[in-house]
Amino acid sequence: MHLGAAWYPEHWNEERWETDVRLMKEAGMTVCRIGEFAWSTMEPYEGGYHFEWLEKAVTLLNRYGLEVVLGTPTAAPPAWLTHRYRDTLAVDEHGRTAVHGNRCHTAANSQTYLKFCRKITGEMAKRFGKDARVIGWQIDNEYNRVDYSENSRRQFQHWLKDQYTSLDALNSHWSTAYWSQTYSNWDEIPLPVGAHNPGLMLAFKRFVTHTWREFQKVQIDEIRHHSLPSQWITHNFMGWFDAFDHYELTADLDFATWDWYVGTGHHDFTKTGAAHDLTRGFKRKNFWIMETQPGWVNWSGVNNTLNKGEASAMAWHAVAHGADAILYWQWRSAQGGQEQLHGSLIGADGNPRPFYEEVKVLGENFAKVSEVIANTEPKNEIAFLYSYDARWSINGQKHHKDFNSIDHLMRYYSPLAERNISVDILSPLANLSGYKIVVLPALVILPDVTVENLTRFVESGGTLVITVRTGMKDTHNSLFDTLQPGKLRELAGAEVEEYYALLDPAPVHFRGNEQSIEEKIIEGKSEMWAEALRPLSDSTQVLAHFGESNGWLDGKPAITLNPVGENGGKVLMIGAVLDSKAQSFLIERILREGGIEPIYTEGKTGVEVAKRVGKDGKTVTLVINHTREERSLDLKELAGQDLLSGKSLSGVISLLPYGVRVLI
């Protein structure tokens, strides 16, 4: 396990460097990221490469026992480059060319820019690729820009030709006869600005993904050619950011990292855990937090600081979800630049800020558990299938202004987190063996391979949960010629008779049974969206009905359950977006059907209980109080040694505000 920070030695006189590195060491840091914004220092004029200063920084860090992550500087090119080669600058959707002075202002598919990116990365790799003090590489920084230049349009048209082969196929899949959109030549196809043909909009998102993957691969190839096999390559993603398909981009990386910032407000572990699980799911491997805030940020509406102790609890929370490193951004406040007021461990005056002491304690505690936690990871029995295609499709046609794909996913995630039940968030193409429950949160685009995977999963005894909007469209963003959930209808034993965006909530009546609450009827409501279900099989059970609503929904099935095969497989189809109380009741039913029993429900009071498991079966349990108040927990079978205090713990224990126990 690593603790570290992003450091920018190019900002400071070399006489100061050793003081900074010594303070890192005293804080218990073991790794440092450098270089990712230093292109103008590495190459102050075209072809003039200067890495001596970087070599000195690596040497100094190594002398104090810190390993190095090198960032390629391609998110911030030097002024001579963008001034001399104007085609490297990105163009926005309104035709405006970016100007120098920010970051990420270049066009990722500019051949000129790719040439310079290849050169600087190659020169860095020649210098440091065989240097064992460098443990890994970060490509660029927070990919985000979408280019709308004529060059991008031409490349998009060529990409479409490769994907569709013929215009007849493209026109057919996109239904371009609608509004006379039919294309007779590839160069007629525009870049989508604003609302456009759904097929075109989805294809452009995939093209953007392709563009960034090619941009990334240029640098990966240079590094791989010159580097030690032990040096890994990654990129720092941004959680739920959706400009491209992260599953595609991470395919070429060794593991994923992400930059975790709270912004305004405070950490809520029942929500932020999902972004950790998402990042872990990109590669189905542990991940790193490559950046997180040391107190506050500078870009939110109110840049409040985290409470004392809160960042420490956040760090342990990330570890609980599979993080193997926590790096703070940044080490020291720059005296100039756009992020002057961002939180840091060292102030512009060169002295440690109050937050430094919290990190120092965290470093001491990480050192106590690092060896034991190494080579362990979360092991979960529930998977959510998350699709960028589906999210893009819904974003383009919300049908209800408040329907948000991530909010919908969180309606299922957060109640599980409150029960301290962890999940994996995976691609719709993932292997599902080993899971008990799989949830499809608004998986509007449903590929055939996903249908095949889900069918095998259910027939093998798994419990599948199909939520609203699932199975409406094919992989070209075209509506199926069958009702929802498309090719899952037979498996589900039900279909969607009709869907409705709601002005007002629709009542939902649950009927209990002997396993739940003795025939008592539970009242709930469906918010913003409802789907009237129609059972297709005598075996399909109706678990809930809609009450009196818009006339069309009245009395219609809202939730169904279909048993499948001889292995105990089940499919629940959910036609409602339930209020929190009713959703909690539904989650309990889903867990019961899937054979998962909540043991530690203290998540509702802010206490998280999570496990990491090694290949040898070794289990490490983290108990984290995410509140400013003292909490208690009955350890039950978790009784064991606390690695932080060295004490053996059993029975009911107390947890200080933002307190942590690490048990074996």
272-285 mean pLDDT: 98
The per-residue pLDDT of the chain, averaged, comes to 97
Local structure of residue 304 (DSSP, 8 states): P
Q: Which residues contact 552 (CB under 8 A, 6 or more apart)?
A: 498, 500, 532
Q: Which residues contact 662 (CB under 8 A, 6 or more apart)?
A: 316, 368, 369, 372, 373, 620, 621, 622, 623, 642, 643, 644
* Spatial contact of 658 and 313, defined as CB atoms under 8 Å apart: yes
Confidence of residue 522 (pLDDT cuts 50, 70, 90): confident
Taking CA atoms, 575 is separated from 189, 387, 483, in Å, by: 38, 19, 13
482-492 mean pLDDT: 98
Strands 67-71 and 134-138: parallel
Lowest mean pLDDT among 105-114, 357-366, 599-608: 599-608
* Spatial contact of 43 and 34, defined as CB atoms under 8 Å apart: no
**In the chain, where the domains are located:** 35-254, 382-594, 604-663
* Spatial contact of 69 and 134, defined as CB atoms under 8 Å apart: yes
Q: How far apart are CA 253 and CA 219, in angstroms?
A: 11
Active site residue 291: yes
Report whether pLDDT(426) > 90. yes
Report whether pLDDT(516) > 70. no
Q: How far apart are CA 228 and CA 627, in angstroms?
A: 44
Query: For residue 35, is it left (φ>0), alpha (ψ between -120 and 50) or beta?
Result: left
* Spatial contact of 496 and 529, defined as CB atoms under 8 Å apart: no
Q: Which residues contact 562 (CB under 8 A, 6 or more apart)?
A: 491, 492, 493, 494, 537, 539, 540, 541, 570, 571, 573
* Spatial contact of 537 and 565, defined as CB atoms under 8 Å apart: no
> 35-254: what fold?
TIM Barrel (3.20.20)
Q: How far apart are CA 70 and CA 123, in angstroms?
A: 13
Confidence of residue 511 (pLDDT cuts 50, 70, 90): confident
Active site residue 15: no
User: For residue 520, what pLDDT is reported?
Assistant: 53
Confidence of residue 519 (pLDDT cuts 50, 70, 90): very low
* Spatial contact of 554 and 529, defined as CB atoms under 8 Å apart: no
486-490 mean pLDDT: 98
Q: How far apart are CA 530 and CA 498, in angstroms?
A: 9
pTM (2 decimals)? 0.96
Q: Which residues contact 523 (CB under 8 A, 6 or more apart)?
A: 507, 508, 509, 510, 582
Catalogue the E-assigned strands of 72-205: 134-138
Catalogue the E-assigned strands of 151-212: none
* Spatial contact of 19 and 345, defined as CB atoms under 8 Å apart: no
Neighbours of 226 (CB within 10 A): 18
CATH of range 604-663; options 2.60.40.1180, 3.90.1150.10, 3.40.50.720, 1.20.1260.10: 2.60.40.1180
* Spatial contact of 3 and 362, defined as CB atoms under 8 Å apart: yes
What digits encode the pLDDT tens for the residues 13-45? 999 999 999 999 999 999 999 999 999 999 999
Choosing from 67, 222, 291, 602, which is the catalytic residue? 291
* Spatial contact of 442 and 390, defined as CB atoms under 8 Å apart: yes
CATH number for the segment(s) 382-594: 3.40.50.880
Q: Which residues contact 169 (CB under 8 A, 6 or more apart)?
A: none
553-569 mean pLDDT: 97
Angle between helices 405-418 and 388-396 (to 10 degrees): 130
86-103 mean pLDDT: 95
Instruction: Report the percent of the chain where pLDDT is more than 70.
Output: 98
Report whether pLDDT(518) > 60. no
What digits encode the pLDDT tens for the residues 566-605? 999 999 999 999 999 999 999 999 999 999 998 888 878 9
Choosing from 36, 43, 142, 495, which is the catalytic residue? 142
- Of 42, 208, 54, whose CA–CA distance to 117 is shortest? 42
SS3 call for 571? strand
User: For residue 616, what pLDDT is reported?
Assistant: 93
User: For residue 512, what pLDDT is reported?
Assistant: 59
Q: How far apart are CA 425 and CA 273, in angstroms?
A: 11
Both tokens of 163, joined, read 């994907």
User: For residue 446, what pLDDT is reported?
Assistant: 98
- Of 449, 456, 475, 464, whose CA–CA distance to 384 is shortest? 464
103-107 mean pLDDT: 94
Q: How far apart are CA 420 and CA 392, in angstroms?
A: 30
282-307 mean pLDDT: 97
Report whether pLDDT(80) > 70. yes
- Tell me the helices (H) and strands (E) count for the chain, helix number first: 17, 28
User: For residue 548, what pLDDT is reported?
Assistant: 94
Residue in the structure block whose two tokens are 């460097």: 17
Q: How far apart are CA 238 and CA 224, in angstroms?
A: 25
User: For residue 601, what pLDDT is reported?
Assistant: 85
